[in-house]
């Protein structure tokens, strides 16, 4: 039942393909698969220095430290890498790229055979033409794009490498493939509190509801969800994750590497050419014609919002991510947050683009209504558009405390009319609920993480309260419906903890820190009942501790103006305490690498809460990839069917 076909690969290569019926391929052999380089033009970093420190110092983006600096170790024997990785889980009919890399061989002398076996024997999966991307001189690379596993069951991909005068080497991976779930949900609203560990939730409850004699005077909306569990957040490359690959696990059902989304990390040098897996946006649009909404307080190209639809090895590729956002196969019907700088033509003073494209106009040409202020959003929402683009800052939105309460003109600048997360989400629901096929809405409180990195506990907690109030709004919207699954979780944990209280009446610095019985209770007051304390700096406030941190000074009180805890000494490249933040306070010696200016993500599990049809599936410990599959099961999506 098989036949051999010799096909020219290059002037010095040939390929032998073994076919099974229907033109699909269960095995393929490649001999001498050398290739020539393809052009690549990776975009540069999108980070920028902030002029708020002395001239001899510079600030650093919190994610600058996520770049891998240690080389991967490899022995003397050739190494076979198969992507997707071992134990990966797929939906039957879900799209993915298969990439095989063989390192440490001479390409002209290596014969590589790839076999795929399914639940009933050889599986006709290799039904696309194999590509041979650029590879190093001692490497063989083979890529099959856009494959699918046709039916549920266990599949094995086996690679055999035969070399002249050397031993044969083999490697294999096993993949689990599942079919459509039982369904029950028409819509999914997925809340992501970036970096929202237990300390952020506890702090939000203490500040928003208060406590009397050890009992809370009220509960958060997430406290009263139907089901809850825990999620493990580690990635394919490390126990410590970042927001890109952790959110990608939720949106694809596959592990990835730090800074990557929608792809498996390979040796490819072009960030856009790593092997892809189908994203949530692509899947729900392809199979059911559902609408997709993204609401975030970050730039809409940032890791969490982008992972809903995008594929890239490098989360900083904001311009390439925006190009993907315009592709109809993954384009969200609602896109709201910050990040206007990536859409404005280079002639605009706030643009980060290097061309004259105006992506706002391009979205409008596709039928999007556009809003850039809170007032404009209110007006546009009342007009009930079919598509909505809302960008309310060139960068990230300001945090809730600065945006809604303090409102310092020096901090807000021209962006003094930004909406709340509640207002953006309410507008998104008005657009998305019009689709009879349902919708997937992702809502992110991004600056929980963005304030935890620089050790700013109060600002992180206020943004956690904003997330919870947005959850309350969505739960009220869904109260009379039985078709909407609501899920709340975090992408990773963080260094923040609450050790007790800090009482300014007892003394400055550490003298004011109370623990155990001396902690008592904080004295935050919410006189207007809006759920946010009137003053983040009462006499007795929370004493925030940090499990990891740089060298910095800390007076343990709320900082009226946000400042980074540490900066880079430009002469030495080492992090030093920021001389403008708590300059007279005691030095806290750091425990991070000497170039770190902020705290980093931690490895502990995060909580997950769910209500609505299918919520029982989340009442357990889950790997982060499993969250994707539980949501798809609740929707009852059959990935083998295109609409």
Among the listed residues 16, 234, 238, 243, the single catalytic one is 243
Residues in the chain: 643
Query: Above 80 in pLDDT, residue 142?
Result: yes
Give the Cα separation of 221 and 266 in Å (integer): 41
Q: What is the pLDDT of residue 318?
A: 98
Cα–Cα dist 82/157, whole Å: 8
User: Average pLDDT for residues 505-517, to the nearest whole number?
Assistant: 97
Is residue 640 within 8 A of residue 92, CB to CB? The reply is yes
Mean of pLDDT values over 543-555: 97
Would you place residue 152 in the very low, low, confident or very high pLDDT band (cuts 50, 70, 90)?
very high
Instruction: Please tell us whether the domain made up of 79-178 is placed in CATH 3.30.70.260.
Output: no
The annotation places the binding site at: 194, 302, 304, 444, 449, 453, 491-492, 601
Are the folds of 79-178 and 193-494+599-635 the same? no
Looking at residue 34, what is its pLDDT? 52
Superfamily of domain 193-494+599-635 in CATH is Alkaline Phosphatase, subunit A (3.40.720.10)
Q: Which residue has the tokens 């089901």?
A: 227
- Residue 312, pLDDT > 50, answer yes
Radius of gyration over alpha carbons of the chain, in Å?
A: 26
**DSSP label of 277:** B
423: left (phi over 0), alpha (psi -120 to 50) or beta: alpha
Three-class HEC string of 157-224:
EEEEEEECCCCCEEEEEEEEEECCCCCCCCEEEEEEECCCCHHHHHHHHHHHHCEECCEECCCCCHHH
In a 10 Å sphere around its CB, with 0-12 CB exposed, 13-18 middle and 19+ buried, how is residue 187 labelled?
buried
Lowest mean pLDDT across 26-35, 397-406, 428-437: 26-35
Share of the chain above pLDDT 90, in %: 86
pLDDT value at 66 more than 80? no
| SS3 assignment, position 554 | strand
| CA nearest neighbour of 521 among 200, 201, 205, 198 | 205
- The DSSP 8-state label assigned to residue 261 in this structure reads B
Q: Is pLDDT of 64 > 70?
A: no
| Residue 534 confidence class, pLDDT cut points 50, 70, 90 | very high
Per-residue pLDDT at 70 exceeds 70 = no
Phi, psi for 143 (deg, rounded to 5): -130, 130
Tokens of residue 7, six digits: 């096909």
Helix/strand/coil percent split, the chain, to 5 = 25, 25, 50
Binding site for Mg(2+): what residues are annotated? Answer: 194, 302, 304, 444
Spatial separation of the C-alpha atoms in residues 518 and 313, rounded to whole Å: 49
The pLDDT value recorded for residue 74 is: 62
Q: Which pLDDT score is estimated for 11?
A: 33
Model confidence at 406: pLDDT above 90: yes
Report the distance separating Cα 183 and Cα 205, nearest Å.
33
243 part of the active site: yes
Here the tokens at position 293 are 């909404």
With a CB cutoff of 8 Å and minimum separation 6, the contacts of 543 are 498, 499, 500, 501, 502, 513, 514, 515, 519, 556
Please give the C-alpha separations between residue 440 and each of 189, 201, 291, 308, 360, in angstroms, as whole numbers. Answer: 6, 25, 6, 10, 23
Question: Is residue 413 over pLDDT 50?
Answer: yes
* Closest to 320 in 3D by CA, of 38, 46, 39: 46
* Sequence spans of domains, the chain: 79-178, 193-494+599-635, 507-598
State the DSSP code for 367: T
3-state secondary structure of 533: coil
């Amino acid at each position: 039942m098989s036949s051999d076909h010799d096909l020219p690969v290059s002037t010095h290569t040939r390929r032998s393909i073994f076919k099974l019926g229907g033109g699909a391929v269960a095995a393929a052999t490649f001999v001498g698969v050398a290739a020539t380089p393809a052009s690549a033009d990776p975009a540069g970093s999108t980070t920028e220095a902030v002029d708020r420190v002395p001239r001899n110092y510079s600030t650093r983006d919190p994610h600058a430290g996520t770049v891998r600096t240690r080389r991967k170790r490899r022995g003397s024997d050739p190494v076979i890498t198969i992507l997707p990785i071992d134990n990966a889980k797929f939906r039957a009919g879900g799209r993915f790229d298969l990439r095989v890399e063989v390192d440490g061989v001479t390409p002209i002398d290596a014969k590589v055979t790839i076999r795929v076996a399914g639940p009933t024997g050889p599986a006709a999966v290799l039904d696309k033409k194999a590509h041979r991307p650029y590879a190093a001189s001692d490497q063989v690379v083979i890529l099959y794009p856009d494959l699918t596993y046709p039916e549920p069951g266990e599949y094995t991909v086996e690679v055999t490498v035969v070399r002249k005068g050397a031993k044969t080497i083999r490697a294999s991976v096993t993949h689990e493939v599942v079919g459509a779930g039982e369904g029950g949900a028409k819509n999914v609203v997925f809340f992501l509190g970036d970096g929202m560990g237990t300390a952020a939730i506890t702090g939000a409850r203490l500040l928003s509801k208060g406590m009397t004699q050890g009992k809370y005077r009220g509960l958060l909306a997430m406290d009263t969800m139907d089901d809850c569990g825990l999620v493990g957040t580690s990635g394919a490359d490390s126990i410590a994750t970042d927001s890109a690959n952790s959110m990608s696990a939720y949106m694809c059902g596959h592990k990835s590497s730090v800074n990557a989304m929608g792809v498996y990390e390979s040796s490819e040098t072009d960030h856009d050419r790593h092997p892809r897996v189908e994203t949530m946006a692509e899947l729900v649009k392809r199979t059911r014609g559902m609408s997709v909404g993204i609401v975030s307080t970050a730039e809409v190209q940032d890791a969490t919002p982008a992972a809903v639809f995008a594929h890239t090895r490098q989360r900083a590729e904001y311009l390439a991510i925006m190009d993907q956002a315009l592709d109809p196969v993954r384009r969200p019907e609602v896109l709201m947050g910050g990040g206007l700088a990536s859409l404005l033509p280079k002639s605009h003073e706030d643009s980060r683009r290097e061309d004259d494209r105006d992506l706002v106009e391009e979205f409008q040409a596709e039928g999007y209504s556009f809003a850039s202020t809170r007032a404009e959003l209110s007006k546009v929402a009342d007009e009930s558009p079919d598509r909505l683009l809302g960008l309310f800052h060139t960068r990230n939105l300001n945090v809730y405390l600065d945006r809604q309460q303090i409102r310092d003109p020096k901090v807000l600048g021209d962006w003094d009319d930004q909406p709340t997360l509640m207002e953006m989400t309410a507008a998104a629901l008005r657009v998305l609920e019009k689709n009879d096929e349902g919708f997937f809405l992702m809502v992110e409180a991004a600056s929980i993480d963005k304030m935890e990195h620089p050790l700013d506990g109060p600002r992180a907690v206020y943004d956690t309260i904003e997330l919870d109030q947005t959850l309350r709004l969505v739960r009220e919207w869904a109260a009379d419906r039985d078709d909407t699954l609501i899920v709340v979780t975090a992408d990773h944990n963080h260094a923040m903890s609450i050790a007790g209280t800090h009482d300014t009446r007892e003394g400055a610095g550490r003298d004011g820190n109370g623990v155990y019985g001396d902690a008592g209770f904080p004295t935050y007051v919410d006189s207007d009942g809006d759920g946010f304390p009137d003053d983040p700096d009462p006499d007795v406030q929370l004493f925030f501790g940090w499990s990891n941190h740089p060298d910095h000074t800390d007076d343990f009180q709320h900082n009226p103006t946000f400042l980074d805890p540490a900066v880079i000494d430009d002469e030495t490249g080492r992090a030093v305490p920021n001389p403008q933040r708590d300059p007279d306070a005691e030095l806290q010696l750091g425990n991070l690498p000497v170039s770190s200016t902020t705290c980093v993500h931690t490895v502990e599990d995060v909580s997950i809460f769910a209500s609505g049809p299918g919520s029982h599936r989340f009442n357990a410990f889950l790997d982060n990839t499993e969250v994707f599959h539980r949501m798809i099961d609740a929707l009852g999506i059959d990935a083998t069917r295109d609409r």
